[in-house]
Amino acid sequence: MLQGLSSAERVALLHRMADALVAAAGPILAANAADLADARAAEARGEMSAALVARLVLDEKKLEKLADGIRAVAAQEEPLGRVLSETELAPGLVLRKETAPLGVILVIFESRPDAVPQIASLAVRSGNGLLLKGGKEAARTVRAIWEALTRALEPEVPASLIGLVESREEVSSLLVHADLIDLVIPRGSNALVRSIQENTRIPVLGHADGICHVYVDEAADPDKARAIVIDAKTDYPAACNAMETLLVHRALVDDGRAEALLDALRGAGVALFGGPRAAARLGLEEAASFHHEYGDLAATVEIVDGVDEAIDHIHRHGSAHTDAIVTESAEAARRFLASVDSACVFHNASTRFADGYRFGLGAEVGISTSRIHARGPVGVEGLVTTRFKLEGQGDTVRPFTEGSRSFTHKRLR
Amino acid sequence: MLQGLSSAERVALLHRMADALVAAAGPILAANAADLADARAAEARGEMSAALVARLVLDEKKLEKLADGIRAVAAQEEPLGRVLSETELAPGLVLRKETAPLGVILVIFESRPDAVPQIASLAVRSGNGLLLKGGKEAARTVRAIWEALTRALEPEVPASLIGLVESREEVSSLLVHADLIDLVIPRGSNALVRSIQENTRIPVLGHADGICHVYVDEAADPDKARAIVIDAKTDYPAACNAMETLLVHRALVDDGRAEALLDALRGAGVALFGGPRAAARLGLEEAASFHHEYGDLAATVEIVDGVDEAIDHIHRHGSAHTDAIVTESAEAARRFLASVDSACVFHNASTRFADGYRFGLGAEVGISTSRIHARGPVGVEGLVTTRFKLEGQGDTVRPFTEGSRSFTHKRLR
């Protein structure tokens, strides 16, 4: 549908969506107030966390910011029809591999009504159909935003291009339709993501766990180590790219650098738990499991004999999201970056950099720990697929089989 | 495992595999003779097709050719560690997106023992683990080839890197392990592919159907149309990229060009069936369904009112594999190539070009009609994923949040 529209037409639609969002501030904020009243009542009854309630809140300033976000997506480089490669197969026969829309994307998110304009703008930019399912705590807000955005699409684009799914039963029935839906993007708790991954054959773009490690090597610079470890753990502990496990080389335990690191973490309010070795040597309370995402000011610490043991630990207990080494040894860094099989592997940088905006991808569709299609922070390129286009002059394969013509396979770009 | 080996080491392994295949000709051909004897007996009982038996046959010359194929894979450009993009996030903080092995690949194929060296060499080249399951009709041959190849890998690489799966029960139990297997590649009948797609949550690279269309437009050059239609249908009718449906513009029916095309096809031995309009206007026996892959010298013909109706027909009845337009109208070609949402869309070229070798991809892993990961003919790039590597100097995100540092996001390559 949107695929038939030119880039300029899709950009114009995005600007109309941005304007419509601000113009509909009245009904959107009224719907939001109603959702919020219910949410606060639920919070008072102890049925909803303050954090979840906080994420629901919209105001005029936030709507303006969301509209600016849509305009930023409009200003991005055209994602469709990008020529990824061009090959002359033989004189007069040219093959191009181009980007094309993925198809229909089902986005399932919790709370955060601000996800609607973000994901809708990315879908329109990349020519995809979209099905949205928000949490029931934000139902009225999501519907009001959706109404404003889809009205802005008409008449060129039928409102049905962005579908709103309002019941849990509808989601279950959609998840079996691998023929209708090409990609599912869950944005929410680990439990939500895992439940979707386990209940569909449709590809899922996302990550259930973010069990990120920082390994502080024997050859680490103590200042860099402290700065990175504190940033990775305390900058935003609930983020999926926050450090959950700190691995320290045993030499650091012997010379007191480990204790200094732990003191810095404790000074920042971080509760520390130890693996078997760290519990024994550093007097820490033993951690229940190495595969645990605290999502809070807490971390597991373990002692390792060197970079190889650190790599092994990460492969055994990590979630292949983001893992970092702090070292001044080029060889240890090379070994770590070459061997740790995670979506993001960092040297002397905080795990918190694993983020679409920080990576310069423009809008972020999500962070994927899948090994297929898109991995790590994913921008709009995660919403496109490719197509081969071949332009000939009446060419047939027979002359190539018979030997009267030969392939040149000349790379043109 | 293989990921730890350098490119040169993996290339050396491939040369040893090639040599081992030729050196083990004795036991391999003995095993093949035993499989063949059973297959011929089954053929005599009418339990196996002659085509399937023919695909089993190996001889010294074929082994030499397979060894050359392994050497060609060794000579290919290194697929791992290719830098797909490089961005300076901020001064001293550089992000690279690099190719990395996908993980463990399960390949399930029927007959064709020659698939073993082909796929094993691609797996070694791209640093992946491999599980192989061949058809039981080729069991002894497959085992003999597997033994020769895995012995050639030792001692650097344990034989377990290429696993042999010999029972159907093992396959079923593997297909539930999305945690152990990253990609399934079925090579065989549509029924095999469909049954695997329907029974696993692991991504499947392949295609069940190849219902390819050629649309001959009003503005088609009759010579090109005839050449392309004959090639697309008769060059190798059993191939997935052979034409199954011929769509002709109604103007061609009026002026007799359609009848000339049909005569050419009939002259080449092709049985023709018609859709409702073609059956009525051209006196053809009515086809049972538009969604039918003959895989033989037969085709469905239908009349359409123009390029838009052809596009609509293809979307409704095709399998999004390969579809072609024959026309001298630049506008009709543009419209067709922009709108037909198939893995391969061709203008004035035979559908038979949809092939990894002809596309210049080197070895072909398969042809995918999935919209995720890899689409169309897939080379070794279908066996890799990506990783983000970030090199810093002790960088943390806090200064960027606080505004004392800014992202530059300078594209370096």
Say if the Cβ atoms of B347 and A386 lie within 8 Å: no
DSSP per-residue codes, A83-138: EEEEEEEETTEEEEEEEEE--EEEEEE-S-TTHHHHHHHHHHHTT-EEEEE--GGG
- Tell me the residue ranges of DSSP E strands in A280-355: 285-286, 298-304, 322-326, 344-349
Same domain, A188 and A227: no
Cis ω before B399 (30° cut-off from 0): no
For A81-92, the pLDDT digits (tens) are: 999 999 999 999
Nearest residue of A to residue B232 by CA position? A396
Judge contact between A205 and A373, C-beta under 8 A.
yes
In a 3-state reduction of DSSP, which class is residue B69?
helix
Partners of B377 on chain A (C-beta within 8 Å) are: 388
Contacts of A201 in chain B (CB under 8 A): 197-198, 200-201
Q: Residue B390: name the closest of A215, A352, A225 by CA.
A: A352
Mean pLDDT (chain A) is 94
Together in a domain, A78 and A11? yes
Nearest CA in chain A to B360: A409
Provide the CATH number for the domain around residue A236: 3.40.309.10
Q: What is the SS3 assignment for B163?
A: strand
Distance from CA of B374 to the nearest CA of A (A): 7
Give domain status of residue B393, yes or no.
no
Whether residue A140 sits in one domain with residue A6: yes
Q: Which residues of A touch B347 (CB under 8 A)?
A: 389-392
pLDDT value, residue B1: 59
Rounded Cα gap, residues B346 and B252, in angstroms: 20
3-state DSSP assignment of residue B212: strand
Q: Is residue A394 part of a domain?
A: no
**CB within 8 Å: A397 and B200:** no
Name the minimum distance, in Å, from the CA of A48 to any CA of chain B: 29
Q: How confident is the model at residue A1 (pLDDT cuts 50, 70, 90)?
A: low
Q: Which two tokens stand for residue B257?
A: 């060009």
Q: Are residues B181 and B279 in the same domain?
A: no
Chain B residue with minimum CA distance to A353: B397
Closest-CA distance, A342 to chain B, in angstroms, reads 7
SS3 assignment, position A225:
helix
Measured between beta carbons, the chain B residues lying within 8 angstroms of A349 are 93, 390-392, 394-396
Looking at the fold, whether B224 and B306 belong to one and the same domain comes out as yes
Q: Calculate the CA dihedral of residues A235, A240, A241, A243 and round it to 10 degrees.
A: 70
| CA R_g for chain A | 25
- With 0.95 as the threshold, say if the pTM is over it: no
Structural domain includes residue A104: yes
Contacts 24+ apart (CB under 8 A), A396-399: A396/B227, A396/B228, A396/B230, A396/B231, A396/B232, A396/B235, A396/B349, A396/B350, A396/B352, A397/B231, A397/B235, A397/B350, A397/B352, A397/B353, A397/B358, A398/B231, A398/B235
Hey, is B345 helix, strand or coil? strand
- pLDDT per residue as tens digits for the range A216-239: 999 999 999 999 999 999 999 999
Number of A/B CB contacts below 8 angstroms equals 220
Q: Do B223 and A394 touch (CB under 8 A)?
A: yes
Substitution target in A1, A106, A358, A375 with the highest count of B β-carbons within 10 Å is: A358
Scan for tokens 């040169």, then name that residue. Answer: B8
Q: Decide if B183 and A394 are in contact by the 8 Å CB cutoff.
A: no
Contacts of B318 in chain A (CB under 8 A): none
Task: For residues B143 and B115, state if they share a domain.
Answer: yes
Question: In angstroms, what separates the C-alpha of B244 from chain A's closest C-alpha?
Answer: 16
Nearby residues of A40 by Cβ (< 8 Å), 6 or more positions away: A53
Q: Which of B87, B360, B407 sits opposite A89 (nearest CB)?
A: B360
- In the DSSP assignment, the letter for residue A159 is G
pLDDT at residue A155 in the model: 84
SS3 A323: strand
Q: Given an 8 Å threshold on Cβ–Cβ distance, is A230 in contact with B396?
A: yes
Closest Cβ opposite residue A358 in set B198, B394, B407: B407
Which CA distances in Å does B308 have to A110, A111, B244, B304, B312? Answer: 41, 42, 19, 9, 6
Q: What is the nearest CA distance from B48 to chain A, expressed in angstroms? A: 29
- Taking contacts as CB-CB distances below 8 angstroms, the residues of chain A near B181 are none
How would DSSP label each residue in A16-46? HHHHHHHHTHHHHHHHHHHHHHHHHHHHHTT
pLDDT in the model for residue B110? 83
Which residues in A lie closer than 8 A to residue B354 (C-beta atoms)?
Answer: 388
* Length of chain A measured in residues: 413
Do both A172 and A91 map to the same domain?
yes
Is residue B193 within 8 Å of residue B206, measured between CB atoms? Answer: yes
Nearest CA in chain B to A399: B231
Cβ contact (<8 Å) for A344 and B390? yes
User: Which of B100, B221, B392 lies closest to A346 in CB terms?
Assistant: B392
**Across the interface, do A235 and B398 touch by the CB < 8 Å criterion?**
yes
Across the interface, whether the CB atoms of A89 and B350 are under 8 A apart is answered no
> Residue A233: closest CA among chain B residues belongs to which residue?
B396
- How many structural domains does chain A have? 2
What domain range includes position A291? 212-353
Residue B235 DSSP symbol: S
Angle of the B7-23 helix axis to the B25-44 helix axis, nearest 10: 60
pLDDT along chain B (413 residues), means of 10: 81 96 98 96 93 90 94 92 96 97 92 88 93 92 96 86 88 89 90 90 90 98 98 95 98 97 98 97 96 94 98 97 98 96 97 94 87 92 95 98 96 92
Q: Which of B372, B368, B107 is nearest to A368 (CA)?
A: B372
What one-character DSSP code corresponds to residue A171?
Answer: H
Element (H, E) at B226: helix B222-234
From the list A93, A344, A390, the residue facing B344 with the nearest CB is A390
Task: Please indicate whether, in this complex, the C-beta atoms of A354 and B388 are within 8 angstroms of each other.
Answer: yes
Residue A411 lies in a domain: no
pLDDT at A362 over 90: no
Q: Identify whether A408 is part of a domain.
A: no
Q: Are the C-beta atoms of A364 and A377 separated by less than 8 Å?
A: yes
Shortest Cα distance, chain B CAs vs residue A140, angstroms: 32
Residues of chain A contacting B339 with CB distance shorter than 8 Å: 3-4
Cβ contact B385–A394 (<8 Å): no
Same domain (yes/no): B266, B282: yes
Q: Are residues A177 and A226 in the same domain?
A: no
| Cα B334 from chain centroid (whole Å) | 26
Give the closest-approach CA distance of A359 to chain B in angstroms.
7
H or E stretch including A15?
A: helix A7-23
Taking the C-alpha atoms of residue B320 and residue B338, their distance in angstroms, rounded to an integer, is: 14
Which chain B residues are Cβ-neighbours of A354 within 8 angstroms? 388
Beginning with the edge strand found earlier in the chain, give each strand of the sheet holding B243-249 in spatial order: A410-411, A83-90, A93-101, A384-395, B344-349, B322-326, B212-216, B243-249, B298-304, B271-274, B285-286
User: Any idea what the Cα angle at residue A280 is, between residues A277 and A284, rounded to 5°?
Assistant: 100
Is A200's CB within 8 Å of B201's CB?
Answer: yes
Residue B159: the pLDDT is 78
CATH of the domain at B199: 3.40.605.10
- Check CB contact under 8 Å for B348 and A391: yes
Is A319 within the bounds of a domain? yes
Q: Which of B224, B347, B350 sits opposite A397 (nearest CB)?
A: B350
Q: Return the residue of B nearest to A205 by Cα.
A: B372
As a whole number, mean pLDDT of residues A259-265 equals: 98
A401–B235: do the CB atoms touch at under 8 Å? yes
Record the tokens describing residue B270, joined without a space.
Answer: 């092709």
Average pLDDT, stretch A156-170?
A: 86
Are B165 and B103 within one domain? Answer: yes
Rounded-to-integer distance, Cα A269 and Cα A265, Å = 7
Give burial (CB, 10 Å; 0-12/13-18/19+) of A8. Answer: exposed
Which conformational region is residue B61 in: left (phi greater than 0), alpha (psi within -120 to 50 degrees), or beta?
alpha
Please give the DSSP secondary-structure letter assigned to residue A158.
Answer: -
Residue A78 DSSP label: P
Q: How many CB atoms lie within 10 A of CB B45?
A: 8
Alpha-carbon distance B189 to nearest alpha carbon in chain A (angstroms): 20
**B158 in a structural domain:** yes
Residues A29 and A127: beta-carbon distance below 8 Å: no
How far B303 CA sits from the closest chain A CA (Å)? 21
Nearest to A348 among B182, B393, B400 (CB): B393
If asked whether residues A41 and A155 sit together in one domain, one would say yes
Burial of A67 (0-12, 13-18, 19+ CB in 10 A): buried
CB–CB contact B349 A182 (8 Å): no
Q: Is B358 a member of any domain?
A: no
Please give, rounded to a whole number of angstroms, the shortest distance from the CA of A350 to a CA of chain B.
5
- Yes or no: say if B261 and B375 are a contact pair by the CB < 8 Å rule: no
CB contacts of B401 in chain A (<8 Å) are 235
Q: Residue B294, Cα to own-chain centre: how many angstroms?
A: 19
Residue B210, Ramachandran bin (φ over 0: left; ψ between -120 and 50: alpha; else beta): beta
The interface predicted TM-score (ipTM) is 0.92
**How many other CB atoms sit within 10 Å of the CB of residue A330?**
10
* Beta carbons of A397 and B235 less than 8 Å apart: yes
Nearest to A392 among B346, B397, B401 (CB): B346
d(CA A124, CA A10): 7
Nearest CB among A352, A373, A388 relative to B344 is that of A388
| Nearest CB partner across the interface for B392, out of A87, A348, A393 | A348
Dihedral, CA atoms, B65, B67, B72, B78, nearest 10 degrees? 160
If asked whether residues B27 and B156 sit together in one domain, one would say: yes
Distance CA A247, CA A274 (A): 10
- CB-nearest partner of B388 from A100, A221, A344: A344
